[in-house]
Amino acid sequence: MSDGAAGQFLCRSDELAERGRGVVFDLLLWRQPARGFALRIDGRAVAYVNRCAHVPTELDWNPGDFLDAERRTIVCAVHGAQYSPASGHCLGGPCGRNGLIVIDVHESDGQVYWYPSRDIAPIEFDDGPEATSTEPCAP
């Protein structure tokens, strides 16, 4: 876990099937909106920023589809870079030596939490002025 940062609820544990579809979630990467995704690999929950190391674009073929047909590697839908689903390391293709950005996750009591880091933060929800106003609408 990262720097004592508070865990952020990601999903229920039973939403992550072994080598199944990923659970996608919003976050801030270097203060910019981005997405992360979680998978279950060999029984363990893992999560990465949904951003290819080749060109900074999202990886999934369809929302939540990150793995190849044999469910062995994460494959980028754009140019086919392959990543280890257990570590995020590049296994082949145009990602070169670069891997996916790892997000720390922890499972507890049937729930999966992710942990912010120096580069990755939760989205802050702004209720906006209309949500806090107690003034009635003008006729």
Q: Is 133 helix (H, G, I), strand (E, B) or coil?
A: coil
Beta strands 44-49 and 74-75 are unpaired
Residue type for position 98: N
Q: Which is nearer to ligand FES, 56 or 123 (CB)?
A: 56
CB of 51 to ligand FES, least distance (A): 9
Least Å from the CB of residue 15 to ligand FES: 26
Q: What does the alpha-carbon distance between residue 73 and residue 50 come to, in Å, rounded to a whole number?
A: 14
Nearest C-alpha neighbor of 86 from the set 19, 25, 36: 19
Between 2 and 57, whose beta carbon lies closer to ligand FES? 57
Looking at beta carbons only, is 8 or 50 nearer to ligand FES?
Answer: 50
Q: How far is the CB of 124 from ligand FES (least distance, A)?
A: 29
**What span, in angstroms and rounded, lies between the C-alpha atoms of 33 and 15?**
24
Minimum CB–partner distance for residue 58 and ligand FES (Å): 9
Catalog residues that contact ligand FES under the rule CB under 6 A: 52, 54-55, 57, 76, 78-81, 93-94
What do you get for the CA distance between the two ends of the chain, in Å?
A: 53
Q: Which is nearer to ligand FES, 90 or 105 (CB)?
A: 90
Q: What would you report as the CA-atom Rg of the chain, rounded to the nearest whole angstrom?
A: 17
